[in-house]
């Protein structure tokens, strides 16, 4: 049975090469769908704090549509978008030291009160869309799921099984001796944007080893450049009496 790892932040396909460049774990739709073979049973191992809503939805949909058994094992954390992916499993197993976290979708908005009110409604609707994955797995009512999301609910293995988010707790007959956790490593969005807009995009992934100091310098330089670009573009816009709305809105989960 093929094993597919869903580790690190959930990101879009367009950002995958940047994480590959820095040799940082991340999961995009293509890293999962490229491994699916029609009719083949698969094991999905999840340890992710979540990320991009749309990428998570795409992975969930691909797994639910897969012609073969999908077995999910939560080894560390399945939070936010990663918890949605977990719900695609025909069988969901969770380590006794692992957790599932569900909460509301978040995003950014700018403009007057009408724009902000509109964005609020968009996010509320997307919460309902996301809740469908939890409803289908647990059998709970939408109202109960939305309330759990409102509270940002962290579920232990026992609680996840009791509420139907998981079907089985691993090592149920064994004693647990050690629990450890590690935060998800995500590249700052300023660096993502800088590299996506760079003309020096590599044609194929490059793996490089960087120590913490070197990565800190790269991030600082990218943020500094972005600040200068922002200030210069803002000055030009003011002088020309021009403003421009963002072309896309990002949704994080």
Q: Out of 28, 57, 80, 95, which one is annotated catalytic?
A: 80
* Whether 80 is catalytic: yes
∠ CA 13-15-21, rounded to 5°: 120
> Considering 28, 48, 57, 103, which one is annotated as catalytic?
103
Residue 90 a catalytic site member: no
Known catalytic residues are: 80, 103
């Amino acid at each position: 049975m093929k094993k597919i790892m869903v580790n690190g932040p959930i990101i879009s396909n367009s950002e995958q090469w940047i994480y590959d460049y820095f040799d940082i774990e991340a999961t995009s739709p293509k890293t999962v769908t490229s491994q699916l073979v029609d009719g083949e049973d698969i094991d999905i191992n999840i340890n992710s704090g979540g990320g991009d809503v749309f990428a998570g939805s795409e992975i969930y949909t691909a797994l639910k549509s897969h012609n073969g058994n999908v077995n999910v094992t939560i080894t560390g954390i399945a939070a936010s978008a990663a918890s949605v992916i977990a719900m695609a499993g025909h069988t969901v197993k969770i380590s006794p030291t692992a957790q599932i976290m569900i909460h509301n979708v978040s995003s950014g908005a700018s403009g007057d009160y009408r724009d902000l009110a509109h964005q609020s409604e968009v996010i509320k609707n997307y919460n309902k869309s996301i809740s469908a994955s939890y409803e289908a797995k647990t059998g709970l009512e939408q109202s109960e799921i939305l309330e759990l999301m409102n509270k940002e609910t962290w579920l232990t293995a026992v609680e996840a099984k009791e509420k139907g988010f998981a079907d089985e707790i691993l090592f149920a007959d064994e004693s647990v001796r050690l629990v450890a956790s590690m935060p998800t490593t995500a590249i700052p969005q300023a660096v993502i944007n800088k590299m996506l807009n760079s003309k020096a995009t590599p044609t194929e992934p490059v793996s490089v080893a960087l120590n913490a100091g070197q990565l800190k310098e790269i991030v600082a330089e990218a943020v500094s450049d972005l600040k200068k670009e922002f200030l210069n573009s803002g000055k030009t816009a003011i002088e020309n009496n021009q403003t421009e709305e963002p072309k896309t809105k990002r949704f994080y989960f």
